[in-house]
Each structure stands twice: as C-alpha cells, then as structure tokens.
Amino acid sequence: MASGSSARSAGKRKKSDATTASEARSTKKRKSEPDLKKTTTGSTSSASKHGSTRQSKSKQPKEGSVPDIRLVVTGESGGQKDYMSAHERLKANYDYIDEDLRERIEDTVGHSFDSLSDLDDDDLESIDPEGEMERFKTEYTISIRTAEGANIGQVNVLVVDLSESDDYGNFWTCWETQSPDLTEFGELFDDKNDDRCMIKYNADGTAQEPEAEGGGPPLSAKVESAGTKCWNRYEFTEVQPLVFVLKLTIKPEWQGKGIGSTVYAYLPSLKKLRGAKFFFAKPGPLERAPGVKLPGYQDWLERDRRICEFHRRVGFRRIGNSQFFALALNSAHPSRAIEPEDDAEYVPEKRPKGKTKLSKWVEV
C-alpha cells in the first residue's frame, strides 16, 4: 500500500465482500434538562456492584413528582467474554458448511481449501468480520424498575470500545457489522481528509500508529460545519468507550411521569457505562415509517416529532444535520448551551434511486 493511503482501507474488507460464519450456523445543567450527576429529586445517584442505580429510598411520590426507580443490568452479550477466535468459530461450525457456502468462502479468501489447516489467520478473519468485531462490542439490556421491583421499561445500549484494537479500520467495521443504521452512523466520520487519520509507513515498510487521539477518526468536515456547529471533530472518538442507545421503551401507563428523563440522568452512573463522554442515539419510532399516502403516516410523523423533542429536553443535540443525536455528559459542553428549539433540523442527504430513509430506533 502506498504511503498516505486511507487508514480505513488497511486490513479491512467491506461487509458485502465477506461470508459470515453465522451463515454456517443457520444451516444449523439547564432548567429544562436533568443534571446528569444528580437525580431529579436532588439526591445523588450511585451504582451498586451489581450494575444498578437507584434513588434514595422515599415514600410514595406525591402527584406530579418523579417515581422512585432503579436501573438493573439484566443482560450482557458480546465483548471479550463471548469472543471466540476465528479458528475456534469456524471449527465449531465446520461440519455445517455446505457446498454453496464453501464456494463463497473460497471466493472471499481467494483460494480453495480442503481442511481448516489450509486457512491462515487472515483468511479466517476475512470470512467472519462480524465475529471478529464481537470482542469490541458489548450490548447491555437494562431493566427500568420501580422501588417495589416492578418492571416498567427497558433500555438497550451498545458499548463500543476499540482501545485494544490494532486496526484503525475496525471503527467502521464495528458499525457495519451491527446494522444498516449504524453503518450510516459510521459514515459521519472521516477516513480520507485528515492527516491524523492517514497511515504512514516506516522505512522498513511497517505501518506507524495513526496520530488521532484514542485511535478514532474525526467527524467529517461536512458534518462538523453543518447544523449548530457545536461538535468538535475529534471529541467523539478521542476517549473510549462509545455508547449508543439502541432502544428506550417505557410502558404506556408510566409514560409522561418523568421516567425517561430520570433514566438518562441515571445511565452515566452505571458501572458498565462509566468512562463515556457522550451518549449517541437515533431518536424516533421503532418501526419504519409507513408510505406517505397510508393512514398511519401522519401519526408516525407526530410520534417522531415528540420523541425527538423529548431527547432535546434531556440534552441531546443533533450531529450536523443528520438523523443522529449526541448527549454531552459534561454540562459545560457548548451543545448544552443550545436551547431545544434552536437545535438543527434534519436535512436528508441525496441518495441514489431505490434507497429509502432508514428506520429510527429510540422510542419513549
């Protein structure tokens, strides 16, 4: 590879060019915002050894006050604890590889094979990039409970920690192997136009480490200069981990009581999420928008507006003019000085014909 080539291209294959091992298995401080360091009642939140947070014990809340809740981590998947090496993954599923899948694997690695011994480490990693990225990604299921222990909602978050990654391109591969929506999130970041993100080579041909702090890429200049311009290009990826809120749901009878705001006030105190500087989300109804001419379209738009409005109230601000929002956990961050009504609007990118607007996730 020539000196100065894009860091993203080093050691990285596009997902569309790879065959996954899972296919083998299938044949088998603002007045209007909560203080993120305190509860809405003014008592300091804390995290227990078991990964839960709760308010200090109190009597039944008075009418109009926020109910006493706690967050409990009930599920964890991915990360180092679930990671298997590429050789272990393929060995576990080798007997389920049919002829069609074998041909696709051979097309991916560029040569035929008769046994596992014919595949080296690079071959194995290219076959299943999703499995390789599992060690950097952990998804947590968090139950929202009343003081009495009743489940009233759920939060799902994805934590991406690339601090131990030795391949700069893994940043994009992590998002691409998660979902189409997160592929779009990865596209907000630049892999071409910043010197700190370029791979440079020593005289002996070995690659030097990228200069970007934390090994993460910057926002693209186009995104940074759009919208309210409150985000610095390098701040999102200079510190690990990155926390993306995949889903926030609250039972209908508990909505409108301040539960969602309290959840976002408590999340930074969870042991599993400590160290993050920002939370990311793509607020909106969980289901895709119906056709413009269908009866439910206007209702979908109203729910989308309401959910985005809620996220702005708790401190989220749009990243450029994209569909993605970020919440700075530091109340002194410039984004926290922007009034909700002054936040940027979504401006759709021009897409090739046939590509539709992607669905949204976080619903309250």
Quick check: 37 pLDDT over 50? no
Region of 95 please: left (phi>0), alpha (psi -120 to 50) or beta: alpha
Sheet holding 46-47, edge to edge: 46-47, 52-54, 69-78, 137-146, 151-160, 242-250, 278-281, 325-328, 317-318
Quick check: 3 pLDDT over 50? no
290 falls within a domain: yes
| Average pLDDT for the chain | 76
Residue 253 backbone dihedrals phi, psi, to 5 degrees: -70, -10
35 falls within a domain: yes
pLDDT band with cut points at 50, 70 and 90 for residue 102: confident
308 falls within a domain: yes
182 falls within a domain: yes
Q: Which residues contact 228 (CB under 8 A, 6 or more apart)?
A: 317, 318, 335, 338, 342, 343, 344
Which residues does residue 141 pair with via DSSP β-bridges, in sequence order?
75, 156
Amino acid at 103: E
Q: Are residues 345 and 312 in contact, defined by beta-carbon separation less than 8 angstroms?
A: no
pLDDT value for 132: 75
pLDDT band with cut points at 50, 70 and 90 for residue 98: confident
107 falls within a domain: no
Domain that holds residue 42: 31-82+132-342
Sign of the torsion angle spanned by Cα atoms 256, 259, 263, 264: positive
What is the C-alpha to C-alpha distance for residues 364 and 359, in angstroms, rounded to an integer?
15
Q: What pLDDT, in 10s, does the model give residues 291-302? A: 888 888 899 999
Quick check: 24 pLDDT over 50? no
283 falls within a domain: yes
Burial 309-335 (b: 16+ CB within 10 A, else e): ebbbbbbbbbbbbbbbbbbbbeeebeb
What is the C-alpha to C-alpha distance for residues 226 and 116, in angstroms, rounded to an integer?
50
260 falls within a domain: yes
Q: Are residues 93 and 21 in contact, defined by beta-carbon separation less than 8 angstroms?
A: yes
125 falls within a domain: no
Total number of domains constituting the chain:
1
Q: What pLDDT, in 10s, does the model give residues 126-145? A: 666 677 788 889 999 999 99
